[in-house]
Structure 1
Amino acid sequence: MFGRVCKFASRICSALFSLERTDSSVQIDLVTLLLVFISRECKVDIDNNAMEFVELVDYCANKCRDGGITFCSTLAKRLNDMAGDFHQLFYAYP
């Protein structure tokens, strides 16, 4: 089930990244909200879902490079902020 959610999320991210960059803050907000939602789903079964989630984040990080410096740096900051939460999550569940 989680794999299908990640594939769907990947398609949503792909569509968001392909949009014109007229209002990148909305795109960044939507990608961030999507990743937060998926991360909460990942917490349910972290052992089986972590790799798929990491692959989705990696996909987003790679796609943001095409968005220009401002877009990429803003999304990178959001991903960096989220990384602290994930670090705590992985060490909270040994």
Structure 2
Amino acid sequence: MLFDGLYYGNTELLGQVFHPGALYATATEGGGDGELLRLDMHEYFTVVRRREPPAARGEARRDHVVSVEFAGPVTALARVESSMGQRRYRDLL
């Protein structure tokens, strides 16, 4: 669901993946100076809805789950990698 949601720009799918209280955080999009960009899910989904999805541009797609580490019965860390077009992503979820 995560990879499809990102590729097709489908925030309904992404809403099934992310906890409503989750935060999107990155240091690479904050102006190039390492400034941290943080968005709550409402803000992040607004960004996703406004941009043209990679699928609409016919971009090639590769994605996979690298690992899932469980820290407890309801807590886990997923390491995923994906690429769409020429961009590569490595995410910790």
TM-score, normalised via structure 2 length: 0.26
**Which structure: greater helix fraction?**
1
Q: Where is the strand percentage greater, Structure 1 or Structure 2?
A: 2
Taking structure 1 as the reference length, the TM-score comes to 0.26
